[in-house]
Amino acid sequence: MLELAIVAALILLNAFFALSEMALMTSRKLRLKQMAQTSRGARAALTLAEHPDNLLSTVQVGITLIGVLTGLFGGDAIGAMIAEWLADIWPNAREYSHAIGIGTAVSLITAGQVIFGELIPKRLALTNPEQIAAVVAMPLYWLSRAARPVVMVLGAINRGVLRLLGIRDDNRNAISEEEIRLLVSEGHEQGVIDADERNMMNRVLRLGDRTADSLMTPRKKVIWLDAAASYDDNVEVMRESQFSRFPVYRGNDQDVVGVLEVKTLLDRFADPQPEIFRNLREPLFVSESTHAMKLLEIFREEHQSLALVVDEYGEIQGLVTLSDLMGAVVGRLQAAENTDEDALVVTRADGSLLVDGSLPNDDLRELIGGVDLPNDEEYNTVAGLMIDRFGRIPHVGEFIEWAGWRFEVVDLDGARIDKLLLQKLTEDEGDDITA
């Protein structure tokens, strides 16, 4: 019976090592860091988790010793007990009882080791890894200290072999942007993150890759004030547009004179003919290749929220504002039922979508269910998508069927794609079918 008790104790000890290994290896370090502020066990768990080589070596030494001791105390002793019992109840099988006893003992010990020493403790560790890691960390920490000479030798051998194989573990803890996206997507699928939160997080992750030319209002749509025009004409422009800031040129956009902030006019409208261009701000120019985060930094340093975007030749290509940056994060629109000709998306009675050609990639991506756009680094709008797919300016009536949607050009403004009709297909007709 002593042998049975020893084997049971060894299986429980194996269970402790298996539980500890799984809990510490699957614990979230951010959660452990939070717990470490008030828990000594969590601090020990964090130390072990940050040095997995030492942890794995300690656990492996423990499990190996347990396996040796289990075989030493269990196999022959328990096999002999089973053989004696078989010989008593089945005398004719006495000559085979020893072999049967050994086989039965090994089978029972293996089953107990696998079920109670491995599977159950590992499954238990996955239920609440951080809490369990904080409990088991202290005894495992002291075991690792006691076995430190052996652990150091094993760790050195392990690193040497990995180095010979060309495997480096310097970046084992690095988290990629794609992993964050997958976590966000998984959180949405599990109901932890709603659709708006998912879209906003994905927009934030994409913001660093976006440049001023993908955020700006194109030159053709910029509303200017003209210092050479009459007072009434300029006031009419301000009244119709309802913006709070306007770029100002003299005659044309080759002669930019500044930026007007409407709030500076409030104390002048009492005059019969106020001078509206008296206190203009210096215009801010940025390159079309300026990244969004750099653009935000420029706005902060210059204490401005509007900049004119220029190309490599100094030609004005558009205008970008702080609102454009905010819109890139929170979204500038949602598909809505309206007939406003300025809306980028209008939902029609049959469920199809009338889309402006200037609809940004991010908004299009969300509109069609989060599908990644092909070659989206080559264009910034849905019109750019169509040109990229056709390799030319498509004609009215031409369409592509892609990702379960039909994209049809319904209006051109000269060479510019003005409006498209998006229709959800009953089933995916294939990738990039054009007609």
Q: 15, 116 in Cβ contact below 8 A?
A: yes
- Quick one: 240 and 289 in the same domain? yes
Q: 283, 308 in Cβ contact below 8 A?
A: yes
Counting the structural domains of the chain, the total is 4
Residue 105 covered by a domain: yes
- Quick one: 10 and 124 in the same domain? yes
- Quick one: 231 and 289 in the same domain? yes
- Quick one: 9 and 57 in the same domain? yes
Residue 371 covered by a domain: yes
Residue 271 covered by a domain: yes
Each residue's pLDDT, cut to its tens digit, for the chain (435 residues) gives 677 787 788 888 889 988 988 988 888 888 888 888 888 888 888 888 887 777 777 887 888 888 777 776 666 666 667 667 766 676 666 666 667 667 777 777 788 888 998 899 999 999 988 889 889 888 888 887 887 787 778 777 877 887 888 776 554 556 777 778 888 888 888 888 888 888 888 888 888 888 998 899 989 889 999 999 988 899 899 988 878 899 999 998 889 999 999 888 877 666 666 788 888 999 999 999 999 999 999 999 999 999 999 998 889 999 999 999 988 888 764 444 444 556 788 888 888 889 988 888 888 888 887 777 888 778 888 999 999 999 999 999 999 988 888 999 999 988 889 999 999 887 655 555 555
Q: What is the pLDDT of residue 339?
A: 46
Q: How far apart are CA 421 and CA 35, in angstroms?
A: 53
Q: 248 phi and psi, to 5 degrees?
A: -125, 130
Residue 44 covered by a domain: yes
Q: How far apart are CA 246 and CA 226, in angstroms?
A: 10
Q: What is the pLDDT of residue 338?
A: 44
- Quick one: 107 and 253 in the same domain? no
Q: 393 phi and psi, to 5 degrees?
A: -80, 115
- Quick one: 143 and 12 in the same domain? yes
For 420, the token pair is 């498209």
Residue 6 covered by a domain: yes
Residue 255 covered by a domain: yes
Q: What is the pLDDT of residue 269?
A: 64
- Quick one: 68 and 195 in the same domain? no
Question: Which domain CATH number covers 412?
Answer: 3.30.465.10
Please tell me whether the overall predicted TM-score, pTM, comes out greater than 0.75 for this model. no
- Quick one: 148 and 42 in the same domain? yes
Q: What is the pLDDT of residue 170?
A: 54
Residue 170 covered by a domain: no
Q: What is the pLDDT of residue 296?
A: 93
Question: Which domain CATH number covers 224?
Answer: 3.10.580.10
- Quick one: 304 and 290 in the same domain? yes
Domain of 388 in residue numbering reads as 345-434
- Quick one: 128 and 194 in the same domain? no
Pick from 232, 181, 231, 230: nearest CA to 203? 181
Residue with tokens 């599990």: 190
Find all residues with CB under 8 Å of 220, minimum gap 6, and list them. Answer: 416
Buried-state track 338-354, b at ≥16 Cβ within 10 A, e below 16: eeeeebbbbeeeeeebb
- Quick one: 361 and 377 in the same domain? yes
Q: What is the pLDDT of residue 335?
A: 41
Residue 169 covered by a domain: no
- Quick one: 152 and 262 in the same domain? no
